[in-house]
Amino acid sequence: MSDHPLEDMDAAGTAESRDGSRPTASDRQDAGAPDGASSDGPGRAPSRELARRPAALPAVPSRIAWEDLEDRGRTEARPRPHRRSAVAFASLGLAAIALAAVAFVAVDRHRQAGLLAERARENATLEQTVSALNARLQAIESAKGRDDLAELRRSVGDMKSAATTSRELAAAIAQLSQRVEKLDREQGAKLDRLGQRVDQETTARTADLASRLDRLEKKPAQAAATPPGPAAPPPTFGANVSMDPTGSIARPRQALRGYVVLGAQDDMALVGGRYGERPVRAGDYLPGAGRVERVERQGPNWVVVTDQGFIPSAYGAPD
């Protein structure tokens, strides 16, 4: 059986016209058609071999069989142009899909190539940036390392100088301490010697003053016990001497007892007595001697003049 049922039917009709009869159902069965074949089954048209075989007996097909054959031929012949159109449209669709797929693949490849190139450029830029950053970091680290090393060296130098200064300062303090201790010992010894000397001199001077005061007290008594001598004759004056009074003669001050001048300087004097030593100056008051008027020098010695007399020097007092 061919792909075109109408052609098979035409060939069958031609064979029938030649033989003068139409094939019957039994003939179709003898030709290899299956039993019970109807117009509903697709592709059940009689074959060319059946058409070529001469019919043994002329048979007139029934009206129903003939109508079935016509209906089947019309039914099988109708979808032919539609099938061709569908195949054409399907082919065009497949071609369009293929072209679209090819275009999509090309565009995608082009886009991927652009993306890869852009990514490669970004990677190169990133590598350059990373390299520059690494170089800068290394430079910073090296500079920082040098700075830290220099700072560490300076710190060590400062510590060494500070340690040296501390040792020198400690040595200087030790020397000063030794000198201060030595000076303290020397000053203590000097003060001790000076105190001993002052004590000795004070004791000696006190004893000397006491002996002198005793002698001074004994002199008036001896003078009172000595009888007065004959009265001196009155003085004779010449003719050119006037007897009129010309002024009062200052009465000489008497030496005061109980005090002696141990030393003096400028307007201050050191006076010693029975109650110890004390410095005096003009305006001070001494019990038993009155108020001090001035400190003056008489010859090689110093005296203190008061309103009651004068205090003689301990080194020049009369015997």
Number of domains observed in the structure of the chain: 3
Highest mean pLDDT among 9-18, 51-60, 152-161: 152-161
Structural domain range at position 200: 80-221
In terms of domains, do 73 and 107 share one?
A: no
Asked if residue 160 is part of any domain, the answer here is yes
In terms of domains, do 119 and 97 share one?
A: yes
Highest mean pLDDT among 66-70, 83-87, 245-249, 270-274: 270-274
In terms of domains, do 61 and 90 share one?
A: no
In terms of domains, do 55 and 85 share one?
A: no
Mean per-residue pLDDT over the chain, rounded: 72
DSSP state of 35: T
Distance between CA 251 and CA 256 in Å, rounded? Answer: 15
In terms of domains, do 214 and 261 share one?
A: no
Lowest mean pLDDT among 87-101, 223-237, 246-260: 223-237
Instruction: Report the predicted TM-score, pTM, of the whole model to 2 decimal places.
Output: 0.26
Distance between CA 263 and CA 213 in Å, rounded? Answer: 18
In terms of domains, do 50 and 122 share one?
A: no
pLDDT (0 to 100) of residue 292:
92
pLDDT band at 250 (very low <50, low <70, confident <90, very high): low
In terms of domains, do 88 and 217 share one?
A: yes
In terms of domains, do 70 and 88 share one?
A: no
The residue out of 35, 53, 77 marking a domain boundary is 77
In terms of domains, do 87 and 169 share one?
A: yes
Please write the tens of the pLDDT for every residue from 289-298: 889 999 998 8
Closest by alpha carbon to 303, among 269, 252, 258?
A: 269
What residue type is assigned to position 310 of the chain? F
In terms of domains, do 200 and 91 share one?
A: yes
Asked if residue 202 is part of any domain, the answer here is yes
In terms of domains, do 35 and 94 share one?
A: no
The residues, any chain, with a CB within 8 Å of residue 288's CB and separated by 6 or more, are 256, 257, 258, 259
DSSP state of 58: -
Please write the tens of the pLDDT for every residue from 35-86: 444 444 444 445 555 555 555 545 555 666 666 666 666 655 555 556 677 7
Asked if residue 28 is part of any domain, the answer here is yes
In terms of domains, do 168 and 90 share one?
A: yes
pLDDT (0 to 100) of residue 140:
83
Closest by alpha carbon to 259, among 218, 212, 194, 215?
A: 212
